[in-house]
Amino acid sequence: MNYYKILEVDKDASPEVIEKAYKALAKKYHPDLQESNMRQSAEEKLKLINEAYDVLSNPISRAKYDENLKENEFSKDDYNKLSEENRNLYNEINNLKHKNTSNDFNLQNVYHDNLNDNQYYQNQYEQQLEYENQIQQAKEKAYRDAYIQDLKNRGYKIKYKKTPKDYLKNFIALIITIIILFIIFQIPFIKNFFINMYNENVVIQYIINLFNNLFN
């Protein structure tokens, strides 16, 4: 995650430029100014904007971030450079094969060694992207949970839209409950208890008979 890209500024941007960019983006993505179907995405975008500004507006945290960014940004460039070198080496090998076939075996070994190095850097780069993605998801979840908790603390009622998966879980729970109650009802003393309660209570008899009439 690149805070400079989030604020849409250069890495060498002055504090004044960063502040102006932050104010413009904060106004642009303010949830109250969005359509109802865009508010959630705007809230998530605004959280990233606030996070980026908190880091880049502080000289100490910005210097530390720039140092970490510099260490992590070389991977993609290094991978592209190595790929280019590998392609050039492959072309040289093909040219030498026509000139001296006796050296073909050794040259192919050199090519494969470089190819293995290329694969190593590619794996490192992909692992870094996966790690950054996991960190980003964890941060977004933490911000979302904190935001929801803040709304609850201020008295807002949070309504969650149920998904088909939620309805399926409720249906399965209902079926399991019915099965458990059916099994329990087969125990003699429990069954006799409910039968006696039905025979001795007029209200229960009326309610059960009413349901029987409705479904029969």
pTM: 0.36
Task: With CA atoms as reference, report the closest residue to 83 among 108, 126, 120.
Answer: 120
* pLDDT tens digits, one per residue of 153-208: 777 666 666 788 888 988 999 999 999 988 887 888 888 887 888 788 888 788 87
Q: Please list the alpha-helical segments (H only) found in 57-103.
A: 59-72, 74-99
Measured distance CA(120)–CA(137) in Å, rounded: 26
123-129 mean pLDDT: 79
Q: What pLDDT, on a 0 to 100 scale, did the predictor assign at position 204?
A: 79
Q: What pLDDT, on a 0 to 100 scale, did the predictor assign at position 98?
A: 63
Q: What pLDDT, on a 0 to 100 scale, did the predictor assign at position 151?
A: 66
Residue 7, classified by CB atoms within 10 Å of its CB into exposed (0-12), middle (13-18) or buried (19+), is buried
Q: What pLDDT, on a 0 to 100 scale, did the predictor assign at position 21?
A: 93
The answer to whether the Cα torsion of 18, 19, 24, 26 is positive or negative is positive
Task: With CA atoms as reference, report the closest residue to 51 among 36, 67, 62, 38.
Answer: 62
In this structure, are residues 5 and 21 in contact, taking their beta carbons and an 8 Å threshold?
no
**Residue 155 Ramachandran class (φ > 0 left, ψ -120 to 50 alpha, else beta):** left
Mean pLDDT taken over the chain: 79
Per the model's pLDDT, the better-predicted residue between 85 and 102 turns out to be 85
Hey, what domains does the chain have and what are their CATH numbers? 1-72 (1.10.287.110), 73-157 (no CATH), 165-215 (no CATH)
72-87 mean pLDDT: 64
In this structure, are residues 79 and 121 in contact, taking their beta carbons and an 8 Å threshold?
yes
Tell me the helix, strand and coil percentages in the chain, rounded to 5.
Answer: 85, 0, 15
Measured distance CA(86)–CA(78) in Å, rounded: 12
In this structure, are residues 69 and 2 in contact, taking their beta carbons and an 8 Å threshold?
yes
Q: Which residue has the tokens 């004044």?
A: 16
Q: Which residue has the tokens 């001296």?
A: 100
